[in-house]
Amino acid sequence: MKPIASAEATLSADRLHADPAIWITRVPDDSLLERAATLQAEGPQDRPLWGKTFAVKDNIDVAGMPTTAACPGYAYTPAASAPAVQRLLDAGALLVGKTNLDQFATGLVGSRSPYGTPRNVFNPAYVPGGSSSGSAVAVAARIVDFALGTDTAGSGRVPAAFGNIVGLKPTIGSVSTTGMVPACRSIDTISVFAHSIEEALRVQRAIAGFDSTDPYCRTAPFAHLSAGALPPAVRIGMADVTELCAPEVARLYAETGSLFPARTVDISPFLAIARLLYDGPWVAERTAALREVIEQAPESVHPVTREILQAGFARRTVDAFDAFHALAKARRLAAEMFSTIDALLLPTAPFCPTLAELEADPIGPNSRLGTFTNFVNLCDLAAIAVPAGMGSDGLPVGVTLIGPAWSEGRLAALADRIHRNSARNLPPLPVSEIQAGETRLFCIGAHMSGLGLNHQVTALGGRFIHDAQTVSAYRLHALGNRPGMLRAEPGVAIAGEVWALPTSAIGTLLAQVPPPLGFGTVALEDGPCIGFLAESAGITDAPDISSHGGWRAWLAHASQPA
């Protein structure tokens, strides 16, 4: 859609939806149309978001517009936009306005704001989710194409679930948080709400990048936002959530998990760590970020928010070190878990509370909403929240795929499969072919998807491209728990998988491969490729399993009863 038509559609949708609580500051209609006309006259100019409309959570700076963080007494008007916002403007996107939030991004409900509560688009009796309430509702109501939120404890995922949209919570430090009002500065992220995985990734690619002005910003180790194809074999971890979730959430979670081979994992260590976010040193980190307003103008702060922030003054340093040690252990457990699974699938939220429930108990329901989200940033993980279907109560249910830092591109294929299962009119996620800085790698054994050493490939930034097979010029031998392939005549075609691996990581992976295996040029049906080959001297006595045509077929044969 061209910029003028896009702007007009946004204005029409905003008038039709008629929810003033979405916005704290809106770009005037005339200004929006004028900017759209300028963009249209300029043409796309290779700008990836040309004419797309977007909203920005009002704890992120936009030059010349007030930043309130939903606290009028705190408001200031920045001279410069946050780098994430500026990157979107440079990419040709149309800013529509600043959106409402739980004050100072402290909450997961969306109702802790003097600017009102944005309306849940499926049932106004229920909360919209927060803290990025306005941004999520603006996307869910199809007013804007995408929106920026923030996510420290689930603020970019919970409202995505309640709005039946996608919420991408990036790796900490992959997007600059300069120009963002901090919640917990060490684990804050700027997140994306969108209607599809493809659009969320496109926006994320626009805003990601190193920024030296943000002390927590990190340089990506590889191109982590390139989408791969869905591997033929994946390993998904799931948890027993029956006692933690509403029945419809548990049902749809189980149905979603049935899309993949899944194994049960113990998430209790992560649930224990999650509780530290609001009962540990990170409460004090929130307080430190807002010390001046809490000490000098406490009456300007929402009562529930004020209670949470004032509690930070009572936290003890000695307890903080206990929490840091516990977190280090949890991060180690997460690393071990992701060496055996490709992603952890969890419900995004255990239930959706009503506004009446929240009025009766402002703290309890909010705390419960973070059950499956609070640990993710603490453990330095990436996550994509995605719709899983509609409950019998008419409310959407969301699930979240969680992976190690820098795994967003790999998670995308899994998240897209889930999304297309619940919204069947979505086109498949486009696969990014081999790009500059990547090398095609042909895997034939335990490094293939779903097998024991695949994590060595994915940890280095590898992503699945497609199944493949060699020309009929190779023999395959069984070397215990791995195969050895070598060129031979007569030969057969050997099945395997093509992965894209950062070229800089080829040497690192090779160093992990024991002799007699190594890398060499393999002739595939679609052209040459680097792949796993064996030295002929090392397989002299190894059984020839070429007749099976590949390692997976051999494993299936070997597992059958004699």
What is the C-alpha separation between 258 and 240, in angstroms, rounded? 14
Whether omega for the bond prior to residue 131 falls within 30 degrees of 0, making it cis, is yes
Q: Give me the catalytic one of 57, 191, 196, 432.
A: 57
Beta-carbon-side half-sphere exposure of residue 245 (alpha carbons within 13 Å) = 22
Active-site residue flag, 191: no
Measured between its terminal Cα atoms, the distance across the chain in Å is 62
53, 122, 134, 326, 401 from 140: Cα distances, Å: 13, 9, 10, 37, 20
- Which is catalytic among the residues 6, 81, 113, 131? 131
Could you tell me if 184 and 104 are in contact, meaning their C-beta atoms sit under 8 angstroms apart?
Answer: no
Q: Which of 113, 155, 196, 449 is labelled catalytic?
A: 155
Encoded tokens for 233: 């074999």
d(CA 102, CA 105): 5
Residue 173 near residue 212 (C-beta atoms within 8 A): no
* Residue 57 is among the residues annotated as catalytic for this protein: yes
**Largest interatomic CA distance in the chain:** 84
In degrees to the nearest 10, what's the CA dihedral of 554, 557, 560, 562?
Answer: -110
Can 131 be counted among the known catalytic residues? yes
* Cα 202 to Cα 49, 55, 198, 209, distances in angstroms: 8, 16, 6, 13
Assign residue 102 a region: left if phi > 0, alpha if psi is -120 to 50, beta otherwise? beta
Would you please indicate which residues are annotated as catalytic (active-site) residues?
Answer: 57, 131, 155
